[in-house]
Amino acid sequence: MARIAVVSSHPPFSEGGHLAIARALVGALHEAGHEAEIVYTPQNRFGRQGAAYLANWLTDVGESEGRPIDQVISLRYPAYAVRHPRHVCWLCHTMREYYDLWPALKARISGKNRIKEGVRRQLVHAADRHFLGPRHLQRFYTISQTVSDRIRDAIGVRSEALYPPPPPRPYRCDQYGDFVFGVSRLTPHKRFDLLVRALAEPAGRGVKAVIAGEGEDLARLQALALELGVGDRVTFAGRVDEASLVDLYARCRAVCFTPLQEDYGFVTAEAFASRKPVISCLDSGGPAELIEHGVSGLLCEPTPAGVAVGLRTLTDDEATAERMGAAGAARAAGLTWPATVERLVLR
């Protein structure tokens, strides 16, 4: 069996989906009989991208303790710059500010700064074209077709989508309760304001919601709930531990996850593993790829009114929620870590 380094950049004092993927992958590699460990590499702050690429390129992943490392599996920017003759990339995301989030970044800056960032973007694209290309990688997967399309359209490099299974937790379904559950980092990109605003729509009246997570958008969302008069129907649970997370999935009626062009989002897979349907949006990216509309969940227009209709549909009809939850569970059952390891490990 092989010695495999799972390589991911990791900003200090942060947590993200890539770490869940890295940890679960290492566990799955161990289960398959391999020796595996996470290697964390630097991700420098904005404006020091060149130094970050260089630091990763110089990171020694060829051997450890006098024994060779047989393969590398890299996960995200700029970890895929590490050098190894047997290198597979399973890409979570590149530096999105220079890809799909570039229009928003460009709109916030002007003058010399816009020119400077435009040059940096071109340099990052050139670096990614090399490090994600066939001369550097033996195989190139991404975590969703959304990410594959983004990379292809921006820099012309093709890849294959390989969806991550849900993290190895004891998911269960206790009931289809009287609330809709949402969980993630609370940032504007996750669009939890759509859920809060949907509760104030005519179709959303009476619907209850629990939102778990922390982030810079929390205060704004709490103020919005009070402003719209729905503060008594939405609970902000803050950061929850693993047991509480599994319990909330187990007891909710459905899960609402409506981000904008999400790379993947474990929330959908975790909801399916808990036999719960998912309400998402047509432009939500990775989640929309996993959901079959009307079968395992609902894909709504990205408006409060559109989301409210989805909330009402599943709140009013427990049998439909249960039927869709069963379909989601079947979808989740097809995403397994042994099958994923089989694709990622070179023979």
- The DSSP-derived string for 131-181 is HTSTTT-SEEEESSHHHHHHHHHHH----EE-PPPPPS---------S-EE
User: According to the model, what pLDDT value does residue 105 have?
Assistant: 87
Q: Are residues 287 and 317 in the same domain?
A: yes
Q: Are residues 18 and 158 in the same domain?
A: yes
| Total-model pTM | 0.90
Q: Are residues 8 and 155 in the same domain?
A: yes
Domain range enclosing 194: 180-333
Q: What is the C-alpha to C-alpha distance for residues 17 and 165, in angstroms, rounded to an integer?
A: 12
User: According to the model, what pLDDT value does residue 216 have?
Assistant: 94
Q: Are residues 156 and 10 in the same domain?
A: yes
340 occurs within a structural domain: no
Q: Are residues 196 and 304 in the same domain?
A: yes
Q: Are residues 206 and 327 in the same domain?
A: yes
169 occurs within a structural domain: no
User: According to the model, what pLDDT value does residue 13 have?
Assistant: 65
Q: What is the C-alpha to C-alpha distance for residues 162 and 117, in angstroms, rounded to an integer?
A: 32
User: According to the model, what pLDDT value does residue 63 have?
Assistant: 87
User: According to the model, what pLDDT value does residue 124 have?
Assistant: 94
3-state SS track over 82-145 = CCCCCEEEEEEECCHHHCCCHHHHHHHCCHHHHHHHHHHHHHHHHHHHHHCCCCCCCEEEECCH
The contacts of residue 14 (CB under 8 Å, 6+ apart) are none
Three-state DSSP at 40 gives strand
* Total domains in the fold of the chain: 2
- Which residues are 235's β-sheet partners? 210
Q: Are residues 121 and 238 in the same domain?
A: no
Looking at 162, 190, 206, the residue that finishes a domain is 162
Q: Are residues 193 and 287 in the same domain?
A: yes
DSSP letter, residue 283: T
User: According to the model, what pLDDT value does residue 112 have?
Assistant: 85
Q: Are residues 62 and 140 in the same domain?
A: yes
Q: Give the up-direction half-sphere exposure of residue 58: CA atoms within 13 A in the CB hemisphere.
A: 7
- Contact of 173 with 322, CB cutoff 8 Å: no
User: According to the model, what pLDDT value does residue 110 have?
Assistant: 85
- Contact of 56 with 42, CB cutoff 8 Å: yes
347 occurs within a structural domain: no
Parallel, antiparallel, or unpaired: how do β-strands 67-68 and 63-64 relate?
antiparallel
Q: Are residues 212 and 243 in the same domain?
A: yes
Q: What is the C-alpha to C-alpha distance for residues 194 and 305, in angstroms, rounded to an integer?
A: 9
Query: For the domain that residue 92 is a member of, what is the CATH number?
Result: 3.40.50.2000
User: According to the model, what pLDDT value does residue 61 have?
Assistant: 93
219 occurs within a structural domain: yes
Q: Are residues 230 and 323 in the same domain?
A: yes
11 occurs within a structural domain: yes
**Cis preceding-peptide flag for 78 (omega within 30 of 0):** yes
Helix or strand holding residue 249 (H, E): helix 242-251
344 occurs within a structural domain: no
Looking at 135, 162, 189, the residue that finishes a domain is 162
DSSP letter, residue 252: -
23 occurs within a structural domain: yes
Looking at 162, 197, 225, the residue that finishes a domain is 162
Q: Are residues 248 and 137 in the same domain?
A: no
338 occurs within a structural domain: no
User: According to the model, what pLDDT value does residue 14 have?
Assistant: 65
User: According to the model, what pLDDT value does residue 47 have?
Assistant: 65
User: According to the model, what pLDDT value does residue 71 have?
Assistant: 98
Residues of the chain with confidence (pLDDT) below 70: 12-16, 44-47
